[in-house]
A = this chain, B = another copy of it.
């Protein structure tokens, strides 16, 4: 007998029929002799609808009240799922975040889990109940409700799996697993049987929105074996774990991220501390910077280039324009760009990987505006209009469709 944590996202429980479908998956697992804890998100568009309601009344509502409001979404979905499971004749109980022992800090809207007091969870499992837990939410030291931010239900599921030393944490989504590229856009995209945490982290960061990044980080930290699989099609998914069996595949995936703005500051005086000033200013404004390049410009000057999310582009430009050192400098912001990346733990020991990628782009006559590399990732910034063509070309170079 194993203890399995299963997580279902909002689209998996969007209506009565889908709730019944989830109930069948859960009870099937239970019938096989497993203890089951189920983590669910709010139904379909509930969270967005609630945010809409709030904005109509007060566009600047305090985050405490927003969390109080949003937590109602999972409250609805857990009780409905519990009723569905009950209807199939299985013992079940639903628990809100605080009932399941989720203690968080007080950063409303994106709270961090501090610990899970598992006594209630364990008591319910001891009674052989299927336990349905509200994802995305917890409680702080003041007894006020908190939410973990978007994608927080993944984190809730992994946290429970870690706290209960579960044998597996299954993340059910509307895709069948992790692919080498977006299967809707890239012909020959392949489902991966296995992937390492690090590879998954790079893929998650790079726009493959299968798993929330925090949840992968947590799974890695506590060695929770993850499986990404479909709630609609009962086939094996993709296993995410620390070490995977060697495969011939050099790379794990090709991703595209169009939420990129490219900002360049040209002709900065070549003095120490300018880069520091720029990025401390951005950090102060809570703007996340992705790729950073600093190159030698004309005599005695340098160019600083970096990427942020599209939304943050204009905010970042405005922020750094306030710096006296950049008063008379040219600051450019391009938003019609995209980031295309390849990810794979195998590339570390294959020096030809980068040139193979660049060659594929060159053959398509695609101009590379910026390059960034890490141990298991190579990213390029190109024109947004060429992104799909680039992904296909690169995918075909590394993972030929045969």
Contacts and interface: CB of A to CB of B under 8 A. Distances in A.
Given A94-B65, A99-B143, A58 B75 contact: no
B80 A54 contact: yes
Contacts of A66: 79, 83
Contacts of A65: 79, 82-83, 86, 94
A70 to B, nearest CB: 8
Chain A interface helix/strand/loop/mixed: helix
Given A65-B86, A71-B75, 13 more contacts: A19-B57, A57-B84, A58-B83, A58-B87, A60-B87, A61-B86, A62-B82, A62-B83, A62-B86, A68-B96, A69-B83, A96-B145, A120-B143
A69 B58 contact: no
Nearest to A64: B93
15 contacts: A16-B56, A16-B57, A20-B57, A53-B80, A54-B79, A54-B80, A57-B80, A58-B87, A60-B87, A61-B87, A62-B86, A68-B79, A68-B82, A69-B75, A71-B75
Q: By CB atoms of chain B within 10 A, which of A61, A79, A87 has the most?
A: A79
Contacts of A62: 82-83, 86
A254 to B, nearest CB: 41
Given A56-B16, A62-B86, A143-B99, A80 B76 contact: no
A205 to B, nearest CB: 33
Contacts of A84: 57-58
A48 to B, nearest CB: 14
Contact of A69 (B57, B76, B143): B76
How many chain copies does the complex carry? Answer: 2
A71 B62 CA distance: 22
Contacts of A78: 68
A72 interface: yes
A287 interface: no
Interface in A2-58: 16, 19-20, 50, 53-54, 56-58
Given A16-B56, A53-B16, A57-B19, A80 B69 contact: yes
Contacts of A20: 57
B75 A68 contact: yes
A88 to B, nearest CB: 9
A73 B62 CA distance: 20
A71 to B, nearest CB: 7
